[in-house]
Structure 1
Amino acid sequence: MPSKTAKPDRPNQTPRSVVFVVYPDITLLDLVGPLQVFSHAEDPATQDKGYACQVVSVSGGMIGTNTVLSIPTQPASSLQGHPIHTLIVVGGQGAIPGMRDTQLVAAVRDMAKGAGRVASVCSGALVLAASGLLDGRRAVTHWDDCARLAETFPKVRVELDPIFIQDGQVWTSAGITAGIDMALAIVSEDLGRAAALKIARAMVAQMVRSGGQSQYSPALTRQLRDGAGRFESLHLWISDNLDAPLTVEALAAEAGMSARNFARSYAKSLGTTPAKAVEAMRVERAQELLETSSRSAKQIATLCGFRSEDRMRRAFLRGLGVSPTDYRQRFRAEVTSGGAGSA
């Protein structure tokens, strides 16, 4: 089992071995997203490939996914005696029968003994938990599987919100694209932040996100609640005019409704008041700017329509339970001079 403190070694300066464990009915993107990250990664010191990737299953051969594609794999036994830098268990609907598959669980447990780091993508955490590798550790999985993970494996300290969690040398991630975030964070730990940023740019991915950020998207939540798309164009307009005085009257006029009817209809559809929705969108935009730009808090407050730093601070405390300053310190990406986010 990997150490809680020691970082994975790289024997003889060879590329770091990353082994993906799959089984029938995995989610294909759970595999290929992180696989693409590690395949892109270069060691900045040598410009050589940073990782050598392999995909294994219990018996090897072609393994079906949740798409029309099957993937070729090596048998897990072929790695016996070979050091593994990072072992990653992929997720998918097959993880539920997989956590009950004694051969798969035993194979994961055996490979983990020689691995410097162990990780899971999405519901792959169920297989890790079945192997005992998450006992006593903080862990996360896709929000739809968090209850199952907690109930089936009570020794695991399940957290519902983060996109990924690192507990010592064991990493777990939430659903699908969070596996890419986790992989980028692993690259950053191994090869440095510049190497991770280079991959993110190449993949046209969002800037490397910290694991403490939420796996729940406020924008997606709005879309789900507004299933018929009644206020979709209004939300786009709000997003383009956050620095304007967005009163209920102004929103109602844009929606082509009376203020009273608009406020009632909006609250019924979205489960929140227009004022709270506007504040949430302003906080979301401010989060993005705090993470990716070098603008001052005062500038960001003005751009997002808060009118003052104090108003923005109170909105952050209400919505996130943290101040803008603390948020920036925790999640801010490195901003280079002249970058896209610079003032």
Structure 2
Amino acid sequence: MQRRVVVVIFDGFQLLDLAGPADVFATASLIVGSERGYRLDVAAVRAGAVPAGKGIATVAELALHEISGPIDTLVVVGGLSVPKRLGDRHLIGEISRLAGTARRIASVCNGAFLLAEAGLLDGRRATTHWLAAPELGTRYPDVDVDADPIYVRDGNVWTSAGVTAGIDLTLALVAEDHGHDVAREIARGLVVYLHRPGGQSQFSTPMRSTTPRSEPLRELQSFIDANPAGDLSVPALARRAGMSDRHFSRVFTKQTGLPPGRYVERSRADTARRLLEETGHPLDRVARESGLGAAETLYRVFRRHWRVAPGDYRRRFSSQRT
């Protein structure tokens, strides 16, 4: 039986949030046959041309109020204009109404905010683009936000990370419907991962703590970042700050939000990541120059912070010509 997918768009939406999942669903229909595949309906508050964030217009064949169930999958896209859409009672109301007729609900990128505004993520675990995750958790405290996964399933509600993660999520939806062999064939054809290694933290900016209020601690923070291979033990740092070990640890933790040891590890991990991106140094040299000591420690730290091995990270993000 053909499965009906309704994709909700709005002025300023992210074009790839629509195009990526649409291509996955369309390719699935080619493989399994149109009778068992997917029928895609693109809808907006008003039918007609809807400009994406970059100005490219997409035609919404249907107005949301024209749609009645049943719906197999409701997909809500994201975009830079999402904050402006949270006050659109018509849009939010229609998302809530259609969710009640859908077998499953999904969001791409910060489309999770629209689901949350409709009350569809209350008490659920969810993800969104790593840049927007802190705001999602603050604005909707009843949502259990996890910023790292590429996508999250909680019951019949699926949420995905930033932009291209909508492809990962849709492959998982197809795998649920038609099996992993079909999803794998689609991934091969689209030249994407079936299961992307690691989480979205590997794509995030360097990890930062709170900037200390006191000038001496700000200077010490800069010293740590500039000297990753130096002696950055608590006693050495406390001496440099002119404090006792205990007082230094207490003050540093209070002003940065991180204990000194954890801050040092984060700083060294960021240095290692930069070296992997910008140099062709072997892993043992990266470990030494970043202050992590040995390649084994580098591997453990990378797995802990970014869920990927250093070599995998370098292959994806190195600026060095190979």
TM-score bracket, normalised by the shorter chain, equals 0.5 to 0.7
- Alpha-carbon contact 1:109-1:133 (below 8 Å) kept: yes
Structure 2 residue 64 is matched with structure 1 residue 76: yes
Q: What is the Cα deviation at residue 35 of structure 1?
A: 1.0
Q: Cα offset for 1:58?
A: 1.1
Specify every segment of 5 or more residues in structure 1 that has no aligned partner in the other structure, as ranges. 1-12, 252-258, 264-272, 280-310, 328-343
Query: What's the CA shift for 1:148?
Result: 1.7
**Which residue of 12, 15, 18 maps to 1:31?**
18
Structure 1 match to 2:202: 217
Displacement, 1:167?
A: 0.1
Report the 3-state secondary structure (helix = DSSP H, G, I; strand = E; otherwise coil) of the residue aligned with 2:201: coil
Q: Which residue of the partner structure matches residue 320 of structure 1? A: 303
Which of 4, 16, 27 is equivalent to 2:3?
16
CA contact (8 A) 1:143 1:161 kept: yes
In 2: Cα distance, 1:218 partner to 1:154 partner: 25
CA distance in 2, matches of 1:76, 1:64: 16
Equivalent position to 1:115, from 102, 106, 115: 102
Measured after TM superposition, the shift of residue 219 of structure 1 is 9.6
Give the drift of 1:208.
2.6
3-state SS of 1:119 partner: strand
Gaps of 5+ in 2: 208-269, 309-322
Which residue identity is paired with 2:202?
Answer: S
> 1:147 aligned to 2:134?
yes
Q: How does the TM-score come out when normalised to structure 2?
A: 0.67
1:157-180, CA deviations, whole angstroms, 9 ceiling, x for partnerless residues?
Answer: 111211110000000011011111
The partner residue of 1:95 within 75, 78, 82 is 82
Distance in 2, Cα, partners of 1:218 & 1:148: 18
Where in structure 2 are the equivalents of 1:85-234 lying within 5 Å? 85-209=72-196, 213-217=198-202
Q: Measure, in 1, the Cα distance between the counterparts of 2:195 and 2:276.
A: 28
Per-residue deviation at 1:320? Answer: 3.2
Q: Secondary structure at the match of 1:56?
A: strand
What is the CA–CA distance in structure 2 between the aligned matches of 1:68 and 1:178, rounded to whole Å? 22
Alignment CA distance shift 1:170-1:49 (3 Å): same
- Separation of aligned partners in 2, 1:219 and 1:151: 19
Instruction: Give 2:91's aligned amino acid.
Output: L
Shift of 1:321: 4.9
**d(CA) in 1 for partners of 2:102, 2:35:** 22
SS in 2 for 1:107: helix
Aligned-partner residue type, residue 165 of structure 2: A
Moved more, 201-210 or 67-76: 201-210
CA contact (8 A) 1:88 1:121 kept: yes
Residues in 1 aligned to 2:58 and 2:180: alpha-carbon distance in whole angstroms: 31
Structure 1's 123 and 188: CA in aligned 2 closer, same or farther, altered over 3 A? same
Residues 190-240 of structure 1 deviation map (CA, whole Å, 9 limit, x = unaligned): 110001001101101123338xx4112269869xx79xxx967863x34xx
In 2, are the aligned partners of 1:41 and 1:49 still within 8 Å (CA)? no
Would the aligned equivalents of 1:86 and 1:115 in 2 still touch at CA under 8 Å? yes
Corresponding residue for residue 52 of structure 1: 39
Tell me: CA distance 1:65–1:209, structure 2 relative to 1, closer, same or farther (3 Å). Answer: same
Identity of aligned residues (%): 36
State whether structure 2 residue 50 is matched by structure 1 residue 63.
Answer: yes
Contact kept? 2:21, 2:167, Cα under 8 Å:
yes
Q: Distance in 2 between matches of 1:154 and 1:234?
A: 39
**Does the Cα contact within 8 Å between 2:127 and 2:133 map onto a contact in 1?**
yes
The CA distance in 1 between the partners of 2:102 and 2:162, in whole Å, is 23
- What is the root-mean-square deviation in Å for CA atoms of aligned residues? 3.2
